[in-house]
Amino acid sequence: MYKQTFRKLAKRLMAYIPSQDKQDARHTIEDILYTTDMWKQAETIAITIPREQELDTHQIINKAWKEGKKVAIPKCYPKQDHDMKFYEYTNRLELENVYLDLYEPKTDDVRYIAPSQIDLLFVPGLLFDQQGYRIGYGGGYYDRYLPNFHQTTISLAMEEQLVNSLPSDEFDQPVDYIITNQKLLTPYKERL
């Protein structure tokens, strides 16, 4: 119940933040990201194609391609126990618009990327707390995927999306790092 309330408020918040503010935040977040060792050392990144209200990830994808990194994007399977798999992404022609205005790969056109092949996984969300927990969009796809993922996880967020704490349960999986338009947080180290 609490998560639904947080989710609803966060969606409203993202809808009211001016697009110029989001764009300015995105530039700062990207500047911080590109200086990190996790970015520099990653050969394969996994990231989502953004929805309208989310921070735009297209420039990160383009930068990855320019640096010779492999890019993977998720495909969700709601009828298969909310399973999620990542597939290599090389151009927009490989995408299809599915439910909730999500863009996902057409799986017959692209190659499957196993969790062990991904070096850096970008985990989307609406709100994030200091411990690395998040309120996502409610499908539970990442919380099901993350227990079998053992490399680095990161979330990108505007400062407005960062709160002191969020409700969490045993199924919630925190991320290792959060980059905001003001700082790089290392909640994983805080939990050790």
Q: What's the rounded Cα separation, in Å, for the pair 46 and 61?
A: 9
* Backbone φ, ψ for residue 187 (5° rounding): -60, -30
The answer to whether the beta carbons of residues 188 and 176 sit under 8 Å apart is yes
Tokens standing for residue 168:
């969490």
Provide the pLDDT confidence category of residue 191 given band limits of 50, 70 and 90. very low
pLDDT digits (tens, 9 = 90+) for 15-67: 888 889 989 999 999 999 999 999 999 999 999 998 777 788 999 999 999 99
Average confidence score pLDDT of the chain: 88
Q: How much is the pTM?
A: 0.90
DSSP state of 48: P
Going from the C-alpha of 69 to that of each of 43, 61, 118, the distances in angstroms are 5, 9, 11
Residue 69, exposed/middle/buried by CB under 10 A (0-12, 13-18, 19+)?
A: middle
